[in-house]
């Protein structure tokens, strides 16, 4: 027995020594540059803790602590691994523009291919194909459709959902921003309108509405990645997440049926494959500018001229990505926007005064041609995106032995060695809260976006060739919704007796509390919307 224990302890000691040596070699391989030294790998930290929340909460503090806007991140177990974390605008620009040197580690996005290969989870020639087919869909005509439908949906919400009430109280703002975003992507993405009255409909054969299923999948993706399949039925929450994935079909076929709730809502007349087949075989009798039609046309045109072509499954995979990314990012960003305006009434009043000056007759609807005139709406939207970037880290990796030049607040620069296989993280909160680029970065100051501002230090849509295709779609929708709502209603934080004695900072922390998800997710934003008096303001 003693011999066995001795042998076991000796083997453990050898293993530990090996780990320590490999750890020190990893530190040396990145030039002993200062940074984070961790026991567990990034993957394990993702599973055992909320590392993305840590990046959100620390923002620029880790960079200030180590004296550089590029730091290293080296772990010891289960094997030594190294990474470089960036909050330096020049270094980030170099990384995002050098796709060959710093490709996207697409294996980290495998969770997003259960509906089909897509532009987010691809690289190289596959990504080029998806980009070529998808880019024409995000056209100026589609943007106008986005604006017009966003305005229509908001007017319908005032009249149908809120019944033009003088006061509307919402327990969590995503209760309105989520369906708004989903309705917009429904019509501008798929060419089919959904109404507020149909919002809660659960079709025969399903256990939840499309809105609820899609929202649960988007917020429950991390849960599904962490929790083993056999454990998905152990709690009520896990069973709900499992049911939502079943509704949206991780197995793919049910997803075709579920998408019909948007494409042929509320009548289930065809499967998605049938729609694709019918569209490919039919003559184009009318010009349609929704993403679904444009994507099909672009793929079909590629076939005719020998260019890019997608399979039906690839079409559905990309459609799903645009649907998922489009609805959640918008819903969460708008939720944070309304929260910030409720917390900072002086900024809300400035926004309203601009809207009122541009729209003295607030009974009319703003037009797409006027979008660029709503400068403070855009400034408020951008400031929210700066303070609450949807994605807190953008991963890259080094495809060759190279180096990355980083700077600091003193104006010095240094080169960090970057061996092949090194993971690189673009730390969005670190960049957005970096005082080198943003004065008083923790304060909500939309006016900073009215003049010259550091565009290379603003990355809510990523940058370089892989920057978000749907940026203009997203901005158009957001500005239309924000302008419409602020023109009609004033927003305040809902008064609740249990929070009567809290300070402003306590209220701010509570209302802006968030959790990791596919995008930055607000936990609970309780708001009250009070109708503005048209004749006395």
φ, ψ of residue 491 to 5 degrees: the values are -115, 135
Beta strand spans in 78-199 (E): 81-86, 167-170
Is residue 139 within 8 Å of residue 492, measured between CB atoms? no
Dist CA 294 CA 267 (whole Å): 23
Percent helix, strand and coil across the chain, each rounded to 5?
55, 10, 35
The DSSP result for 321-387, as a single string, is HHHHHHHHHHHHHHHHHHHHHHH-HHHHHHHHHHHHHH-SSTTSPP-GGGGGG-HHHHHHHHHHHHH
> Measured between alpha carbons, how far apart are the two ends of the chain, in Å?
87
Determine whether the annotation assigns residue 468 to a binding site: yes
Dist CA 436 CA 263 (whole Å): 47
CB atoms within 10 A of CB 102: 24
Phi-psi region of 140 (alpha: psi -120 to 50; beta: other; left: phi over 0): alpha
Q: Is the dihedral of CA 145, 310, 130, 108 positive or negative?
A: positive
For strand 413-418 and strand 402-407, is the pairing parallel, antiparallel, or unpaired? antiparallel
Is residue 111 within 8 Å of residue 225, measured between CB atoms? yes
Q: Which of 250, 268, 251 is nearest to 259 (CA)?
A: 268
Q: For the purposes of burial, counting CB atoms within 10 Å of the CB of 531, is it exposed (0-12), middle (13-18) or buried (19 or more)?
A: middle
Dist CA 252 CA 21 (whole Å): 46
* Helices and strands counted in the chain (H then E): 20, 12
Q: Is 217 helix (H, G, I), strand (E, B) or coil?
A: helix
Q: Which of 491, 147, 226 is nearest to 345 (CA)?
A: 491
Is residue 378 within 8 Å of residue 362, measured between CB atoms? no
Strand partners, 417: 403
- Angle formed by the axes of helices 174-184 and 210-226, nearest 10°: 110
CB atoms within 10 A of CB 298: 19
Dist CA 235 CA 269 (whole Å): 36
* Binding residue ranges: 468
* Binding residue ranges for heme: 468
């Amino acid at each position: 027995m003693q011999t066995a224990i001795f042998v076991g302890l000796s083997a453990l000691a050898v293993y530990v020594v090996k780990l320590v040596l490999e750890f020190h070699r990893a530190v040396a391989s990145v030039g002993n540059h200062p940074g984070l030294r961790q026991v567990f790998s990034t993957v394990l930290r993702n599973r055992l803790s909320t590392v993305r929340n840590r990046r959100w909460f620390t923002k620029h503090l880790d960079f200030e602590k180590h004296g550089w806007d590029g730091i290293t991140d080296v772990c010891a177990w289960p094997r030594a691994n190294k990474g470089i974390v960036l909050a330096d605008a020049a270094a980030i620009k170099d990384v995002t523009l050098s796709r060959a040197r710093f490709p996207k580690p697409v294996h980290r996005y495998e969770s997003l291919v259960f509906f089909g290969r897509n532009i987010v989870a691809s690289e190289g020639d596959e990504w080029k194909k998806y980009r070529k087919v998808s880019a024409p869909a995000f056209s100026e005509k589609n943007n106008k459709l986005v604006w017009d439908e966003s305005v229509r949906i908001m007017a319908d919400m005032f009249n149908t959902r809120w019944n033009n009430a003088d006061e509307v109280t919402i327990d969590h703002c995503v209760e309105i921003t989520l369906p708004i975003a989903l309705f917009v992507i429904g019509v501008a993405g798929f060419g089919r309108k959904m109404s507020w009255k149909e919002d809660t409909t659960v079709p025969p054969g399903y256990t939840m509405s499309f809105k609820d299923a899609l929202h649960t999948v988007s917020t429950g993706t991390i849960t599904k990645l962490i929790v083993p399949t056999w454990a998905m039925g152990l709690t009520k929450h896990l069973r709900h997440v499992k049911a939502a994935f079943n509704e949206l079909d991780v197995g793919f076929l049910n997803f075709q049926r579920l998408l019909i709730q948007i494409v042929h809502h509320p009548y289930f007349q065809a499967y998605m494959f049938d729609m694709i087949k019918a569209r490919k075989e039919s003559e184009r009798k009318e010009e349609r500018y929704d993403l679904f039609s444009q994507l099909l046309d672009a793929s079909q045109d590629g076939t005719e001229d020998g260019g890019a072509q997608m399979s039906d499954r690839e079409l559905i995979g990309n459609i799903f990505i645009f649907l998922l990314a489009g609805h959640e990012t918008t819903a969460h960003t708008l939720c944070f926007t309304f929260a910030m305006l409720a917390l900072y009434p002086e900024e809300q009043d400035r926004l309203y005064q601009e809207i009122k000056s541009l729209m003295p007759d607030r009974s009319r609807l703003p037009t797409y041609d006027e979008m660029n005139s709503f400068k403070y709406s855009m400034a408020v939207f951008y400031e929210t995106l700066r303070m609450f970037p949807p994605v807190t880290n953008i991963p890259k990796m080094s495809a060759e032995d190279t180096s990355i030049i980083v700077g600091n607040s003193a104006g010095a620069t240094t080169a960090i060695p970057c061996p092949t296989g090194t993971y690189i993280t673009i730390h969005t909160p670190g960049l957005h809260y970096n005082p080198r680029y943003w004065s008083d970065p923790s304060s909500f100051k939309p006016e900073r976006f009215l003049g010259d501002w550091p565009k290379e230090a603003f990355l809510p849509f990523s940058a370089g060739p892989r920057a978000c295709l749907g940026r203009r779609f997203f901005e158009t929708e957001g500005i239309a919704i924000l302008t419409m709502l602020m023109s009609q209603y004033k927003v305040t934080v809902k008064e609740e007796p249990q929070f009567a004695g809290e300070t402003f900072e306590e209220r701010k922390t509570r209302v802006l509390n968030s959790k990791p998800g596919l995008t930055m997710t607000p936990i609970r934003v309780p708001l009250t919307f009070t109708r503005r008096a048209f004749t006395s303001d």
